[in-house]
Amino acid sequence: MFNAPRPTQAYGISSSFGGSFVDENPLAASTYDGLDPWSAAPSPSPPPGQVPSIFTNAIAEATVPAIYQQSFNAVDPTNSGETSVNSLSRVLSTSSLPAATVDKIVNLVSTRPRVSKLEFFVALALVALAQKGQAVSVEQVALLAQQNTLPEPTLDLSLLSYSAPPPPSSLSAAYTTNNRQPITTQNSSSNSSATAVRSTSTSITAVAAVVAPPPDDPWMTGPRFGGAGAGAAPFGAGGINGGVAPPSSVAGSGLPSGWWKRQERVTVQFAGQQGFVLNRYMVYGISTERGSTVQRRYSEFAFLWDCLVRRYPFRLLPQLPPKRIGPDEMFLEQRRKGLERFLRFVINHPVIKEDALLGTFLAEPSFEQWRKHSSISLEEESASKRIDRVEEMTIPSDLEDKLGHVRQKIVPLIEAWQKICVLGERLVRKREAAAVRSTSTRPSFMPHLRLPPVLRMSSSPLSVSSYTNDAAAAADSTRMPLGLPAFASSRDPALSLSPLSTAQADLSRLTNTLKMLVEVNAQCWKGQDCDLSEGVRQGISVVSAHTQRHADLLEIRTGVLLQETLEGLKSQRDLYIAMRDLFIRHDRLSVDQVERLKKRVDTNALKLESIKAVAKDGWEEEADKIAVGIEKDKATISAQLNRRVFIRACMWHELRVVLHNRENTLLTQLVQSFASEERDYADAVAANWASLVQGVENMPFE
């Protein structure tokens, strides 16, 4: 009953001119990212064969020691609620436990490419048990959790030279920092015949720093609705000032040079849950350049969206991510990113960014209290603004043709970008899986080598954040762009990793295993004077150090792709969806009654002349009523003709200044950044393996 799709209900339509005509409910069923806001199903649904982690509820109700949260915060700076296997191994390596024990704990708790917070806490409890000399058992951890006596591990977090992918503001410089750290290996033997590791330092070009916004408004240096064309054409019959303008030749962007360098930044992070048991809700922390961080809940985002779409129905406004009853962690993360993209768009829109309500939303400490004591106007933008003669002359006469051209290709563009987002996220997840996914490589004809079930990794397809229609986007391989693989449906086992990816062992686990191998071979059967064994052992130690660095580089690159590149792709998709919605609002809300009112004025004028000609008793009173009605109709006609011109000016501005610039300039910026980061990543990987070549070239043969 509660999860059935809700019908869209009108918010209320004002009959007065200039009121809001918007009836979209931001809480209704949404096509945003294909997420059904009223569905209780996980997003996306788990693929066949994938079983939820058995450790999720092991310590859910227990009070964890402070070191647990401190350790997790060190590897999750973005508060995403999960971290990588590589970061978990990094933390466990600071416990001074043998590499074999660390490897056992990692394999016990990690059955997915990512590790949740509770799984991370279970791993720390296992570390504490191992440090006390007790059996490393998940059942023992669950028993201690029931008694609310979780053990406290001894960790040296200061040894974490690399904890997790840095936040987006520092991702671009992470390659240089990580690559310039010298690789060192621990040598417990005094007789070392192997050559020390020779680290190489490569210069990685960092992405240019973001230019701070100037004190003046960068958007208003030119005409607000500037253009090269002259003259004006009406929307429909005739303009308020008459005249016909020639077709325009669009010159310039309508924005100052380098405007993309002055985009205002905004971040939305989880600030925790509030409310009672039956009425709990997520709170988001919003940080901008306009002031200190403020906290908002989703309903306040929905209120802001509703007000903006009523005030600016003829402006580009992206959709809000939906709401869901009983959301899971993946849904909440997708919604957080969607809210961040929404705010990033509106605070950089040349008109909407100046809205007073938006400014209050980003700065007022208690938005709910402010709403209770403030009167908020929902009057349409055209009711308080006018387009002067100069601005009207800049609107091209062939505006309808230009809008029609965009209208014809908007649906194919949305489909193409939807497909790019789905495939892009899958490719990123596959790259991430190359470092954190472990699959069985044993031959099927050797059953006696089967591992215990708890050590076998799931071979089910990756659970990626996609949309409900990603199967349709990927199933038709004949329409796939060249160079992109045709993936199967997310419900198809064929979506599992390619042979090349599945053949690659988990780099973090490989590093742990190599360290364990070094510990096991610490003593040769010949004694302390075996230079051959000692040299090979140190060479393996060098290899483990370099596989660890490669895992670090891969995790950094994955973080960049997920937090910046993929979000940039989704912003392009959101832009075209916003344009489609703008066309829908335009078709519904731009209709007026000018022609009907003109006919009524003509009819009443003839009726007034007839009354005056007959001049019956009391004709003056009836004539006055008709005259007053004629004046009201003429005033309404004038206002609606003004609104026609304003709507045309808005559509021209959104087409030329907002859509045209964002769909081209920001895409150029995204592609160039992606190419530069891929080059830096490749250089760092090449330097790492070059350092390995130098480090193992003197390994002994005899």
pLDDT in tens, 342-391: 999 999 999 999 999 999 999 999 999 999 998 888 999 988 888 888 88
Average pLDDT score over residue span 59-65: 78
Cα–Cα distance, 514 to 682 (Å, whole number): 24
Q: Does residue 494 surpass a pLDDT of 70?
A: no
Average pLDDT score over residue span 69-97: 85
Question: Measuring CA to CA, how many Å separate 255 from each of 226, 469, 648, 665?
Answer: 10, 37, 19, 11
Q: Does the N-terminal peptide bond of residue 44 adopt cis geometry, omega within 30 degrees of 0?
A: yes
Token output for 470: 């990603």
270: part of which helix (H) or strand (E)? strand 266-274
Question: Measuring CA to CA, how many Å separate 340 from each of 294, 320, 336, 568?
Answer: 14, 10, 6, 12
- Both 155 and 244 in one domain: the answer is no
- Both 309 and 396 in one domain: the answer is yes
Q: Which of 392, 411, 430 is the last residue of a domain?
A: 411
Nearest to 55 by CA among 5, 8, 125, 4: 125
What are the E-state strand segments in 266-363? 266-274, 281-288, 291-297
Q: Which residues span the domain enclosing 636?
A: 590-661
What are the E-state strand segments in 99-170? 114-116
Strands 281-288 and 82-84: unpaired
Confidence at residue 303, expressed as pLDDT on a 0 to 100 scale: 95
Cα–Cα distance, 377 to 303 (Å, whole number): 13
What CATH number did the domain enclosing 247 receive? 3.30.1520.10
Q: Does residue 592 surpass a pLDDT of 60?
A: yes
- Both 150 and 271 in one domain: the answer is no
pLDDT band at residue 628 under the 50/70/90 scheme: very high
Confidence at residue 293, expressed as pLDDT on a 0 to 100 scale: 92
Flag whether 600 is in a domain: yes
Provide the mean pLDDT of the chain. 73
Average pLDDT score over residue span 257-279: 86
564, β-bridge pairs: none
Token output for 250: 């669009």
- Both 236 and 378 in one domain: the answer is yes
What CATH number did the domain enclosing 74 receive? 1.10.238.10
Q: What is the CA radius of gyration of the chain?
A: 32
Cα–Cα distance, 573 to 585 (Å, whole number): 19
- Both 326 and 226 in one domain: the answer is yes
∠ CA 176-115-38, rounded to 5°: 115
Q: Which of 358, 391, 411 is the last residue of a domain?
A: 411
Flag whether 613 is in a domain: yes
Average pLDDT score over residue span 405-418: 93
Backbone angles phi, psi at 441, to 5 degrees: -115, 10
pLDDT band at residue 558 under the 50/70/90 scheme: confident
Cα–Cα distance, 561 to 675 (Å, whole number): 11
Q: 214 in helix, strand or coil? A: coil
Question: Measuring CA to CA, how many Å separate 360 from each of 305, 356, 614?
Answer: 13, 6, 62
Flag whether 675 is in a domain: no
Flag whether 46 is in a domain: no
Confidence at residue 434, expressed as pLDDT on a 0 to 100 scale: 61
Q: 640 in helix, strand or coil? A: helix
Q: Does residue 259 surpass a pLDDT of 60?
A: yes
Flag whether 356 is in a domain: yes
Average pLDDT score over residue span 106-134: 85
Decide: 243 and 389 in contact? Cβ < 8 Å.
no
295, β-bridge pairs: 285
Burial 267-299 (b: 16+ CB within 10 A, else e): bbebbeeeeeeeeeebebebebeeeeebebbbe
- Both 228 and 353 in one domain: the answer is yes
- Both 103 and 252 in one domain: the answer is no
Instruction: Give the number of domains in the chain.
Output: 3
Confidence at residue 555, expressed as pLDDT on a 0 to 100 scale: 83
Looking at residue 451, what DSSP letter applies?
A: P
527, β-bridge pairs: 524
pLDDT band at residue 612 under the 50/70/90 scheme: confident
**Entry field: residues in the chain:** 702
- Both 142 and 244 in one domain: the answer is no
Strands 291-297 and 281-288: antiparallel
Confidence at residue 296, expressed as pLDDT on a 0 to 100 scale: 94
What letter represents residue 348's amino acid? N
- Both 391 and 255 in one domain: the answer is yes
Token output for 210: 């973001």
Confidence at residue 241, expressed as pLDDT on a 0 to 100 scale: 35
Cα–Cα distance, 447 to 443 (Å, whole number): 8
Confidence at residue 701, expressed as pLDDT on a 0 to 100 scale: 87
Cα–Cα distance, 333 to 594 (Å, whole number): 48
Token output for 546: 């370099």
Cα–Cα distance, 386 to 393 (Å, whole number): 13
Flag whether 289 is in a domain: yes
Q: Does residue 244 surpass a pLDDT of 70?
A: no
Judged on CB neighbours under 10 Å (0-12, 13-18, 19+), 243 is middle
Higher pLDDT, 263 or 232: 263
Decide: 194 and 535 in contact? Cβ < 8 Å.
yes
Question: The tokens 């397809």 sit on which residue?
Answer: 461
Ranked by mean pLDDT, the top range of 228-242, 433-447, 508-522, 670-684 is 670-684
- If you write DSSP's letter for every residue of 482-513 in order, what string do you get? TTS-----TTSGGGSPPHHHHHSPPHHHHHHH
Phi-psi region of 246 (alpha: psi -120 to 50; beta: other; left: phi over 0): beta
Contacting residues for 336 by C-beta, under 8 A, at least 6 apart? 268, 269, 270, 284
- Both 244 and 360 in one domain: the answer is yes
Question: Helix-strand-coil percent breakdown of the chain, rounded to 5?
Answer: 55, 5, 45
∠ CA 212-268-321, rounded to 5°: 120
pLDDT band at residue 55 under the 50/70/90 scheme: low
Question: Measuring CA to CA, how many Å separate 426 from each of 33, 48, 309, 419, 470?
Answer: 15, 17, 33, 11, 11
Decide: 689 and 546 in contact? Cβ < 8 Å.
yes
Cα–Cα distance, 234 to 238 (Å, whole number): 5
Flag whether 509 is in a domain: no
Contacting residues for 458 by C-beta, under 8 A, at least 6 apart? 49, 50, 51, 111, 112
What letter represents residue 93's amino acid? S
CA 634 to chain CA centroid, Å, is 50
- Both 229 and 143 in one domain: the answer is no
Flag whether 634 is in a domain: yes
Decide: 325 and 312 in contact? Cβ < 8 Å.
no
Question: Measuring CA to CA, how many Å separate 49 from each of 54, 201, 360, 371, 442?
Answer: 14, 45, 49, 49, 19
- Both 290 and 395 in one domain: the answer is yes
Higher pLDDT, 383 or 461: 383
Q: Which of 393, 411, 429 is the last residue of a domain?
A: 411
Q: Percent of the chain, pLDDT > 90? A: 31
